[in-house]
Structure 1
Amino acid sequence: MKLQRPILVGGLGLSFSLWMLDSWQDSIVQVGEFGLLSALAVGGGLWLLQQNRPKASVEQLDIMLVERADVENAIAKAEAVINQLAQESEQHPALGNLRTQVNQLLLDLDRQELKLAVTGGKSVGKTTLIEVLKSSWQSEIKQKVSFQETAPLFIQAGNKSDTDVLAEVKTSDFLLFLTNGDLTDSEFQTLQQLKAANQPVLLVFNKQDQYLPDERASILLSLKQRTQGNLVATAASPIPIKVRKHEADGAVQEWLEQPAADIQSLTQQLGEILAQQAQKLVWTTTIRTANLLKAEAKTWLNDIRRDRATPAIEQYQWIAAAAAFANPVPALDVLATAAINAQMVMDLGNIYQQKFSLEQAQTVAGTMGSLMLKLGLVELSTKAVSTVLKSNAVTFVAGGVVQGVSAAYLTRVAGLSLVEYFQQQEIALDSGNNLNLEKLRQTLQNVFQQNQQMAFLQGFVKQGVKRLLPEVAVEKAVG
């Protein structure tokens, strides 16, 4: 922001002078009037030069611009997921739309028209600013630009939520985020979300003319500190000025005159950004869209695979329960020793295209068993199952019931954890036996906590008892 207002510059210079006088009060006697004024002038000049030092537009964008090769790679990854979905579900209803979007991405690589979106809260001047840009700026630039105004953010009423508006914004190449004062917490958090999504955005302090010079300077300073200088100030529709004319005969005429829009700083910066980075802005949008498309296709694929994985997990959890019930052991470490869990690892790996040999599967099962022991999940699950079973003496004293139900529970947790872990892996890129132990540990903890609700445990134990005990005992246990 260039300091072109005499009152603002004078006010800031006065503040600087007072600070200097206070700091030098002990030695001011030794400094002549001319020396003091010279020092103030030099200090103020250096401060103004620092404020007016030009910054590269790319630095102000505060995003990571991409190259064409990066975009092509992202599109290829999205297409690989879609092809895998087609391979596993030939008639999936989403395939047609997904492939259409891939074709559009390939066309967008060479798109020449830039999409400029304008967003912000209610009554910040979005419509007016777009009208001014169309009338006084669009014809002066070489690039083709289309304008898009979003629905207002941060209001409860309306058909579109903030999430919907932000999803719409992310399809634009460049975003003007309007505010008419200092940032609220909601506005700041939204800007942080856009930055995290690598969305090119410029904060516009509109309606600056509605503030007194000292108020305006304070707001600008606050905005600049919170946005690292990625900011311009405008007045798209300045407040009308009352003009008074005194005639020779003493008559006085008064009328309101509409000042011209003050958007010079905005148009200058926009022009520089578009002239230098137009194509890369398009590529940045395209790679962002490609990543979203890949995530959408991955979600469909994971849904299909989970539907296939769930019956397999349920089958192995009851096999593990029967084995532990028939041959209970004092220390429950089923996952580290039972071959059935290694077989479950192999079957789930096949579903998620993570190929394991039997030896590798046994290693994975042993690793998960070791992690469960270290995390205390084995002890916690045994206590939880015992607590539910103690409510009925007949059920609790039946030999091996606690071990059997606990084995089933831990096998289920292990299977669901593998599913969650595999869903996060890249399609056909990650090696199935190259486990990220830290990520697997976190997944185990999360899945275990999700399956610790008492209502779920009671239902699970009841189902396990029905499978392990004779019908008569079941009737006594649950009847």
Structure 2
Amino acid sequence: MLDSWHDSIVQVGEFALLSALAVGGGFWLLQKNRPQWGEQLDNIVVDRASVESAINKTEVVINQLAQEAVNHPNLTTLREQLAKLTLELDRREIQVAVTGGKSVGKSTVIQILKNVETLSTTSLQYTETAPLFAGLSENSDAVALSELQKFDFVLFLTNGDLTDSEFQVLQQLKAEKQSTLLVFNKQDQYQLDERGTILQSLKQRISGNVVATSASPLPVKVRKHEPDGTVQEWMEQPKPDVQQLTQQLEEVLAQQGQQLVCTTTMRKVLLLKAEAKNCLNSIRRDRSTPIIEQNQWIAAAAAFANPIPALDILATAAINAQMVMDLGNIYQQKISLEQAQQVAGTMGSLMLKLGLVELSTRAVTGILKTNAVTFVAGGMVEGVSAAYLTRLAGLSLVEYFEQQEIALETGNGLNLEKLRQVLQTVFQQNQKLAVLEAFVKQGVKRLLPEAKPVGVVG
């Protein structure tokens, strides 16, 4: 594997190698930036004041982006969306999504509800979504769920007991604080005792309210016995039965109308804020990369010139307080030199406790052994390991700072548990063989310019 990888990377220049490392080390940073609405709404009391506060915080992020990247291509769109959200709070219409799998009666339910007299004068607006679980593409259901976040209320239709897929979607909507009502449609297709059993099962599984409807009942046979003994039979179309559903919608509109609008607006605001912060973080990551790379090669040269085999010393040497301060400044985290030294010491201790120093050194040693010349060079393992650990520390700080809303005012402001999780994630992502070997090769080139490439036995 090492030999085959060498054949590929020997044709790549230094800049391309560093770019590949940036992708390998930073790709995981992009994954977290996919907004997760439910997590963001947890423990938030949503009212008009809290939404307005969230809008103001989003404006701060957008303004910060404008300061750091005056000509950013997304600025105009972000500001336009923010202006619309301010007006969104005064919206009177309640947007209702009607969703579910295939053939559950979505279109019919909407048609019936529009003709219900008690609802016809209200501000309910219905939208039918594309069928869930249709298998159109791998992410079609994910896209559909994302679209549901834009609605104030969701009617989730099923025509029987829940399948596992339906249950999972309902659980996700619940986790994301999406107001949802489960509708057991087409109940007329079951016997009376079966209807009760299914309805009870639905209520138990979702631990919530469920209504039963028959939006388009099946025709029933009517038989009439005449006095002369003859019997007449004909098919009769029963009237739709949506009374429970109508009653629920009336209550929702009367009691929760404004609350629903606020919650939906809050979700949109948080999504916009995440989008703006993604843009801002992208700019900052571009500014952070040269700082991390500069410090990693400084650490490599120092350790190579003065080998430091002790793991605790190696961990301490890899995390420079100045790098902490420089990265903190990029992310508007006001950190003094004393605080930066405390952060560096804390990260060194964490890397030792998590076993990252030992594991990294072993991995570097294993790759260097493929080349006898570079392996026996004094301090090579320590030099490359110091550079690698410095990179891990830098990427971890970048990730940690991206999650901060306010500046660290004291050294004690560091969230050790969060930092521990970040370190582990960064380490796992950068342990991929291709990424690690490319880094080792680059380190060898820096420390021994005349050495043969890693992966070629001399």
Deviations 1:232-256 (CA, angstroms, capped at 9, x unpaired): 1111011111223455666554332
Aligned to 2:116: 136
The separation in 2 between residues aligned to 1:241 and 1:412, in whole angstroms, is 73
Q: Would you say 1:260 and 2:244 are equivalent positions?
A: no
Which residue type is aligned with residue 76 of structure 1?
N
Instruction: Answer with 1 or 2: which has the greater Rg.
Output: 1
Which residue among 187, 212, 221 is the counterpart of 1:242? 221
Pairing of 1:17-56 with structure 2 (within 5 A): none
Pairing of 1:108-257 with structure 2 (within 5 A): 108-137=88-117, 139-141=119-121, 143-157=122-136, 161-246=140-225, 252-257=231-236
Which residue type is aligned with residue 171 of structure 1?
K
The separation in 1 between residues aligned to 2:316 and 2:116, in whole angstroms, is 76
1:273 deviates by 1.5
Structure 2 SS opposite 1:204: strand
Deviations 1:52-77 (CA, angstroms, capped at 9, x unpaired): xxxxxxxxxxx987221111111112
Which residue among 258, 261, 271 is the counterpart of 1:279? 258
Aligned to 2:14: none
The separation in 1 between residues aligned to 2:59 and 2:329, in whole angstroms, is 21
The separation in 2 between residues aligned to 1:137 and 1:65, in whole angstroms, is 34
5+ residue gaps, structure 1, are: 1-62
Instruction: Evaluate the alpha carbon distance shift between residue 453 and residue 339 of structure 1 in structure 2; reply closer, same or farther with a 3 A threshold.
Output: closer
Equivalent residues of 2:94, 2:123 under 8 A apart: yes
The separation in 2 between residues aligned to 1:140 and 1:147, in whole angstroms, is 12
The separation in 2 between residues aligned to 1:198 and 1:181, in whole angstroms, is 24
Instruction: Evaluate the alpha carbon distance shift between residue 330 and residue 282 of structure 1 in structure 2; reply closer, same or farther with a 3 A threshold.
Output: same
Aligned to 1:451: 430
The separation in 2 between residues aligned to 1:438 and 1:152, in whole angstroms, is 42
Q: Which has the higher contact order (CA 8 A, sep 6+)?
A: 2
1:288 deviates by 1.2
Equivalent residues of 2:97, 2:126 under 8 A apart: yes
Which residue type is aligned with residue 400 of structure 2?
Y
TM-score (norm 1): 0.82
Deviations 1:70-117 (CA, angstroms, capped at 9, x unpaired): 111111121111111111111111111111111111101111111111
Aligned to 1:39: none
Which residue type is aligned with residue 89 of structure 1?
A
Which residue type is aligned with residue 78 of structure 1?
T
Which residue type is aligned with residue 89 of structure 2?
L
Aligned to 2:351: 372
Which residue among 273, 281, 290 is the counterpart of 1:294? 273
Aligned to 1:14: none
5+ residue gaps, structure 2, are: 1-42
The separation in 2 between residues aligned to 1:476 and 1:339, in whole angstroms, is 26
Structure 2 SS opposite 1:368: helix
Equivalent residues of 2:159, 2:184 under 8 A apart: yes
Equivalent residues of 2:300, 2:386 under 8 A apart: yes
Deviations 1:328-365 (CA, angstroms, capped at 9, x unpaired): 12314457644971111111111111121112111111
The separation in 2 between residues aligned to 1:283 and 1:99, in whole angstroms, is 20
Deviations 1:107-143 (CA, angstroms, capped at 9, x unpaired): 01111111111001111000000000001246455x3
Structure 1 SS opposite 2:233: strand
1:298 deviates by 1.2
Which residue type is aligned with residue 161 of structure 2?
D
Which residue among 37, 43, 46 is the counterpart of 1:66? 46
Aligned to 2:339: 360
The separation in 2 between residues aligned to 1:440 and 1:267, in whole angstroms, is 50
The separation in 1 between residues aligned to 2:445 and 2:138, in whole angstroms, is 50
The separation in 2 between residues aligned to 1:65 and 1:308, in whole angstroms, is 36
Which residue type is aligned with residue 56 of structure 2?
A
TM-score (norm 2): 0.86
Which residue among 289, 297, 321 is the counterpart of 2:300? 321
More displaced stretch, 150-159 vs 376-385: 150-159
Q: Would you say 1:89 and 2:69 are equivalent positions?
A: yes
Q: Would you say 1:98 and 2:78 are equivalent positions?
A: yes
1:454 deviates by 1.9
How many residues matched? 416
Which residue type is aligned with residue 290 of structure 2?
P
1:269 deviates by 1.4
The separation in 2 between residues aligned to 1:167 and 1:478, in whole angstroms, is 53
The separation in 2 between residues aligned to 1:236 and 1:476, in whole angstroms, is 70
Structure 1 SS opposite 2:161: coil
